[in-house]
Amino acid sequence: MAKDTVLFERNYIIIKERSSQNETRAAPLDEITGTLTISEHERGKFFRFVPLGLEDVMTDDWALINGGHSVVYDKQDGDSVAVPSSPLLKYRLHFNLNDLRSVRRHHMAHGIAHMVFILKDGTTLPAFYFNHGGSKELLQKLAQSLPLEKSTQDTRLYIVKDDFPQADSSQAISVFDQLNLFDNSNDSVKRSQGNESRRTAVKSFSRVTHFLKDTLLGQNDMIPTTENFDRKLTPDISALIESFNSDFRESNNDGFEVIYKVDFKKLPDITRGQPLTLKDWQMSFDKDGRINDVNKLKERIFRGGLESNSLRRDVWRFLLNYYPWTSTYEERIEIVKQRKAEYLTMKVQWKSINEQQKQRNSLFRDRGSLIDKDVARTDRTHDYFAGENNVHLSILHDILMTYNMYNFDLGYVQGMNDLLSPILVTMEDEVDSFWCFVGLMSRMEHNFHLDQSHIKNQLSNLHTLLQFIDAELAKYLVENNASNMYFFFRWMLICFKREFSFDDVMYLWEVIWTDHICHNFELLICLSILISQKTVIMESKFGFTEILKFFNDLSCNLDLDTCLLSAEKLYIQISTHRDIPTSIAKILGLPTGPNQRLLSTIENATYPRKIYTEQPRGTMNLDSSYFRQESCPSLSPVQHETREALLNDIFTMTPVTEF
């Protein structure tokens, strides 16, 4: 076998990646040092990153971490197998340069350059930091091997230009498994191994069939992720899929891309605020314990959140309607007594059901079994839920079982455990957590209805807003079968629970719960993130499956304050527009008609929450103001023997991953 020829090598390259969304503090693996090489092999040119300590560990061409196992992809037979993993194995990266779609190089004056690589299937690698230089040289070396061109829209972005048709969507359909709505490591590994009968059934439907079966219908039908998971799709599922798509076709016909011309590029300058402090909170009450100015308090929370979990313990009771905003001290004492008695009564009801009664009530039995399964895997990497026989998991279980009795028509649906977890961590009390969860579910219950009508409507609203805000991007999504906005499904279903760190999720939720500036503020957050990635998506020519994978890889790699700022800027632009379309106004709860103006002022919201002197660690760039430009390296002419040879290299390559 021919020896690899090293074309580029640099030691002490660092990967900086945020902790998982379940972790609240930095983990030892947040910074991984290793060696980055570009080497030439008889099969082509390859990018490799090997962490220190893994130089002699042999793996196949590509390894991805999946819970406690590594899923190693073998390009010889296309199968994935589960093997024991080292914690560092997920950072051993290897891909053929022909699989590269784009490179983004960031460099601040007197700062450390870092690069982000995006593959053609939408996979986003973690950021590589060049503490000792070398990013320019690497970019030039890539330009010698690939038709690399600088983006006209973003001077930091370099796109691999080609005219090759995109791969058949059926080859990448299982990328829907990457949504990981309700994680189960072992089940994910089983799904990655594949099943021929399942694949055959999936290919007979549209690209969204597997997604809806796995993540939409599975919530309420409780389809187990075992052998039964592979059963054939029924006609009812097909009908629902057709209903979903037809609903979307009917609702996105407003044609804003033709009628309206709105410039959303010149957004207003606003800043986030400081968190509400305990002192500020205490000064908000009158002598009887009533809040003096509810709207002012909500605005303060909207702009900066709350400073600590101990303060959240009090404020969330109001935000989640445990306490009325107009209640007094004495009234709240009585509410606590009453709610505690009601909770204990409901808890006794389900605990007193014996085994014979359970056997005669299949619905109660199946829901209880599902709760047992989901509780066992809820945020187990978080300190509050870590370890065996964790008492907090038992409390989580009891709250969900009691809610199942409280709202038996809806019952328990997968995903509710994700919503309860931050509440329990914050409240640290079973009764208070239950009633706050009831308040949250009163806002989000419609997300879990069997017909998924609310989720359909929200995804439709997202596309309607996008047509008004960025007609070019909306048109691109239509042309690439992505206008259904399914890549935001998980974000909508459990309110960004998997997209940000645990602490950021709590901050985000309290901002949304204020309902301060408009309805459906979460839609504007989604759109601000989507628009921020417009250049990468369009210039990389991503199709639906690539976009889905790309957005899934953004999980825990987004800076929340930047997202909130961008979303508020979009709101101000929309709300101050002279003629807001009625459909847009209804989505955001704005008054309709000409000459409407922003109802709330922002003059008092100029104090900064955070000041960044460098890009937040492990985050994607969402705002060009974070970075100062420097002159970008010139690119050497691209050298290829023949176009046919390059085509052969790409078309003979099996996709780097299949899930």
> CB within 8 A of 389, min separation 6: which ones?
none
Residue 154 pLDDT grade (very low, low, confident, very high; cuts 50, 70, 90) = confident
Q: Which of 448, 464, 498 is the last residue of a domain?
A: 448
**Does one domain contain both 315 and 463?**
no
**Does one domain contain both 553 and 643?**
yes
**Does one domain contain both 24 and 76?**
yes
pLDDT tens digits, 286-323 = 999 999 999 999 999 999 999 999 999 999 999 999 99
pLDDT tens digits, 111-124 = 788 899 998 888 88
Residue 423 pLDDT grade (very low, low, confident, very high; cuts 50, 70, 90) = very high
> CB within 8 A of 658, min separation 6: which ones?
73, 78, 80, 171, 172, 174, 192, 194
**Does one domain contain both 331 and 413?**
yes
**Does one domain contain both 16 and 71?**
yes
pLDDT at residue 608, rounded to an integer: 32
pLDDT at residue 524, rounded to an integer: 96
137 belongs to a structural domain: yes
pLDDT tens digits, 632-655 = 333 333 344 444 443 343 333 333
Q: Would the pLDDT of 628 be above 80?
A: no
pLDDT tens digits, 436-458 = 999 999 999 999 998 888 998 99
Q: By C-alpha distance, which of 504, 628, 502 is closest to 561?
A: 504
CATH code for position 336: 1.10.8.270
258 belongs to a structural domain: no
**Does one domain contain both 434 and 469?**
no
Q: Give the CB-side neighbour count of residue 655, counting CA atoms within 13 A.
A: 22
**Does one domain contain both 362 and 503?**
no
- Mean pLDDT in the chain? 74
**Does one domain contain both 405 and 464?**
no
298 belongs to a structural domain: no
Helix axis angle for 430-444 and 416-427, nearest 10°, is 140
398 belongs to a structural domain: yes
Domain count, the chain: 3
CATH code for position 107: 2.30.29.230
pTM exceeds 0.75, yes or no: no
pLDDT tens digits, 46-65 = 999 988 877 666 554 334 33
**Does one domain contain both 376 and 521?**
no
Q: Which alpha helices (DSSP H) does 172-308 contain, by range?
A: 185-193, 196-203, 209-211, 218-221, 235-251, 256-259, 278-282, 294-304
33 belongs to a structural domain: yes
Domain containing residue 48: 5-163
**Does one domain contain both 45 and 147?**
yes
Q: Which of 163, 198, 233 is the last residue of a domain?
A: 163
**Does one domain contain both 498 and 528?**
yes
Q: How far apart are the first and last CA of the chain?
A: 30
pLDDT tens digits, 197-245 = 344 333 433 333 333 434 343 333 333 333 333 333 333 434 444 444 4
pLDDT tens digits, 344-353 = 999 999 999 9
The per-residue DSSP string of 610-654 comes to: ---SSPPTT-----GGG----PPPP-PPP--S-HHHHHHHHHTSP
Using CA atoms, how far apart are residues 211 and 221, in angstroms rounded to an integer? 14
> CB within 8 A of 401, min separation 6: which ones?
347, 350, 368, 371, 412
39 belongs to a structural domain: yes
590 belongs to a structural domain: yes
Cβ contact 652:44 at 8 Å: no
Question: Which one is predicted more confidently, 105 or 244?
Answer: 105
87 belongs to a structural domain: yes
**Does one domain contain both 427 and 525?**
no
Helix axis angle for 391-406 and 416-427, nearest 10°, is 120
Q: Which of 448, 483, 510 is the last residue of a domain?
A: 448
